Structure formats: C-alpha cells, structure tokens
Amino acid sequence: MIAFHFPPLSGSSGIQRTLRFVQHLPAMGWQPLVLSAHPCAYEQTTDDLLADVPAGTVVRRAFALDTARHLQFAGRYLGWMARPDRWISWKFAAIREGLRLIRAFKPDVIWSTYPIATAHVIASALHRKTGIPWMADFRDPMAQVGYPADPRTWQHYRAIEAEAAARARYCVFTTPGAARMYQQRYPGAAQRMVVLENGYDEESFVFATQQPALAPHPASAPQAVLRPLVMLHSGIVYPSERDPTQLFEALGRLQKEGALSPADLRIRFRASVHDELLQGLANKHGVQDFIELRSAIPYREALAEMMLVDALLVMQASNCNAQIPAKIYEYLRAGKPILGLTDPEGDTAGVLRGAGLQDFARLDSVSEIAAALVQFVQRCRAGAAVFPTPKAVQQASRFGRTQALVELLGVVTAI
C-alpha cells in the first residue's frame, strides 16, 4: 500500500482511508505492507494515531523532501522540482524500497493512493518492473478544468491518470461523480472504474466518547438558560472549494434584519488552516460574535467535539460536485443535524440526502444560505431537527468499506 498520507502525518483527513484499511484488512485474510514517506517530508506530525497501526504491520518509510520547504532558495524553487507535486523526490527511494519489500514478501497486489500523485508514479514503476497487479486509488479526480493551474503540472497529472487507466487492474474513486467522469474520459477502461467511498471508524468513535468534554452538551445546560446553538465546521476551509464568503455575507444580512443574532447561533471553525481569511470576512461583515476560531486538536478529540455540539456544517462548492469531504461520514456517525452548503446536484448533497437530511443551500447563494440558516436554527430550537438515518450511518463504516476492498482484491488475484 503506497500512501504518503499515513501516521505520523498531521492535518489531513486523508490519513484515515489508508490507516483504517490497514487496521481492518488482517481480520479479513489480507496482510498489508505499507510504503510511505519519511516524516521529514511532512509539514506537521503528531503521534496520536500511531497506536492505531496494528502491531506487527510492516511499514517502510522512504526518504523524501518537500520541495517548497527543503529545496527553495530565497522563497523560490524551480517548477520542474515540484511536478507532479512537491514530493516527487519520494519517487527514487520509494521505488528502491518497494522492490526490497516485493523481494522479501512477494505481495499479490500493489495499491497506491492519491492525492499525492507521486504515489501513482511509484506504483506504476513497481508494476512495470514486477508485473504485480496494480490498483490505483484516485479518491478524487486528478486533472480537472483549471486544476492544477500550472499547465505543465496539469499535463503531468493527465499523463499519470492515463497511465493508470491503461495499466491498473482497477481505478478506484470515492464518489459516483468522479467515477463517471473517468469512465467518460477513458471509455476503454470504463469497466475497471469502481467506487469505494470513504467512511467513519467505529472504534475511534468508541474511544472518542471517553475524551474530555470540549464543549457543553445541550442536555447539560440549565433549561432556563438560553444559549447560542453551536454549529461546528471541523477541518480545512479551502478558499475556493469551500469558499465561506457568502456564508459570512448572509450572517451579516440576517443580523441587520434582526432575523438572527449571536445569541441564536455560534459557528465554530475547528482547524480551518485559513483563520486569517475567516477573521477578515467576519470583520468585513460585522459578524465577529457569530464566529469561533479554534486550533487543531487530536483526531479523537475532534470526533468527540462533533458529538458534543448541537449541529454540524459542511461546505462544498459546485466546482467539487464530483467530490465528497471525507469528514461527512464522521458527521453522519456523530448523529447531529447537518447543514449542507453545497450544490444540490453534487455528490455531497447526494450523500446527505441519502441519509434522510434536507437542510441545503448553495454555497455561492447569499439568499439561499440566509433562508436555510434561519429555518435550520428554528428547527433545532424547536426540537424538530432532522437527524441522519441509522441505516445510512451503518452503511458508512470503514469496516464495511474494507470488506468492499477485499472483494476487489479477490477479483484482482483471481484473474
């Protein structure tokens, strides 16, 4: 399993996909071997998930540098040194280490996972050198309209995905929209494009219930005290893909109209990475009292927080209609009302709708967001909020996703 995102990397929900596969595969008859990057390549590290790697798991970490941090001079670096991504240096040591692993353990399948494109470069090289079947886990689309912005990097992405479409036994995506996009782009490989969604880890939620309280539980507040509804956005706020501009404008409009006040609602942004952007928008629209900016916390504490607040917020722009934030499945398991600021035609809305949820507004529509906020807060206040259905929650477990992966592995090794 070739994965850049693996403990002790911190700050990416993408870690959970590989980590939970590694955790559950042994019980299903498959022994994972992990080929990752040396921790020096990571911008941030934390030890809080290292204990979740099963004892005895073979994990090899190949030398890698981050071009932007390690190979820049006076704040600049040459473009070719960061194509297809800033960790292309990982390729050279990883191929050597991968061949050592193959000689020692003779694996049945090579599995590589994006969003670090170099992982697919490594996997393709190992596949070509050894003939071992390759599964390319794309998760989300690679080359898209306007992304990557640099034309040469875009060409690298397109070449990598074309190589995977031609050579990989399966190309795996986390959303139906992404799979359809690639089935249309590479019709000759359409039968090998499959969907394997993200999910939540039940064991982590069990541990999360033992974490110290990070926010007052609604039931713990005295009935006579009316406090603001606390709605949480947990994770990165991308300036484009999760642009909060219209949300802040809607809050400002509602406050001026007297339809909503900070006494009614508090939106907590946990580990947004872009606190300056959020603070600037709050100042611009005069909604500072609606907003809480909180720093990153360990994973299980973050899950505990999801279960302790009153409601959850997901934001996904229409330019990501074929993508689903991984945390949405954790939101479902947290069992709280969810407000979705997203295109109703996108895959994110599809997951929420499939879980019986109905509170939506387009992320780029101030009027829709304003109306949705008022209705959502009123329903929560009145005890009439809509919660995720138990069936949808059960279907989204990482254990179940691993069972689906095992079925694919069985097909690959049977051919």
Question: Can you give the CATH number for the domain in which 195 is found?
Answer: 3.40.50.2000
Is 313 a member of any domain? yes
Single pTM value for the model: 0.84
pLDDT (tens digit per residue) in 214-259: 544 444 444 334 789 999 999 999 998 999 999 999 999 999 999 9
Looking at the structure, tell me whether residues 297 and 344 fall in a common domain. yes
For residue 339 the two structure tokens come to 């407000």
Looking at the structure, tell me whether residues 221 and 358 fall in a common domain. yes
Is 97 a member of any domain? yes
Contact 237, 273 (CB under 8 A): yes
Looking at the structure, tell me whether residues 110 and 122 fall in a common domain. yes
Looking at the structure, tell me whether residues 40 and 182 fall in a common domain. yes
Looking at the structure, tell me whether residues 32 and 179 fall in a common domain. yes
Looking at the structure, tell me whether residues 236 and 208 fall in a common domain. yes
User: Whole-angstrom Cα distance, residue 48 to residue 69?
Assistant: 24
Looking at the structure, tell me whether residues 87 and 137 fall in a common domain. yes
Looking at the structure, tell me whether residues 217 and 98 fall in a common domain. no
Q: How confident is the model at residue 366 (pLDDT cuts 50, 70, 90)?
A: very high
Instruction: Give me the phi and psi of 400, to 5 degrees please.
Output: -65, -35
Is 338 a member of any domain? yes
Is 132 a member of any domain? yes
Q: How many CB atoms lie within 10 A of CB 414?
A: 6
Q: How confident is the model at residue 162 (pLDDT cuts 50, 70, 90)?
A: very high
Is 176 a member of any domain? yes
Looking at the structure, tell me whether residues 164 and 259 fall in a common domain. no
Is 6 a member of any domain? no
pLDDT (tens digit per residue) in 377-392: 999 999 999 999 999 9
Looking at the structure, tell me whether residues 350 and 224 fall in a common domain. yes
Contact 97, 62 (CB under 8 A): yes
pLDDT (tens digit per residue) in 290-327: 999 999 999 999 999 999 999 999 999 999 999 999 99
User: Whole-angstrom Cα distance, residue 191 to residue 228?
Assistant: 50
List the domain range (segments joined by +) for residue 358. Answer: 203-395
Is 10 a member of any domain? no
Alpha-carbon distances, residue 78 vs 67, 81, 84, 91 (angstroms): 9, 6, 13, 18
Q: Which helix H or strand E contains 4, and what residues bound it? A: none
DSSP label of 402: H
Measured at the CA of 196, the angle between CA 83 and CA 48, to 5 degrees, comes to 70
Looking at the structure, tell me whether residues 124 and 207 fall in a common domain. no
Is 174 a member of any domain? yes
Q: How confident is the model at residue 357 (pLDDT cuts 50, 70, 90)?
A: very high
Q: How confident is the model at residue 213 (pLDDT cuts 50, 70, 90)?
A: low
Looking at the structure, tell me whether residues 181 and 209 fall in a common domain. no
Mean pLDDT of the chain: 93
pLDDT (tens digit per residue) in 395-414: 899 999 999 999 999 999 99
Count: domains in the chain: 2
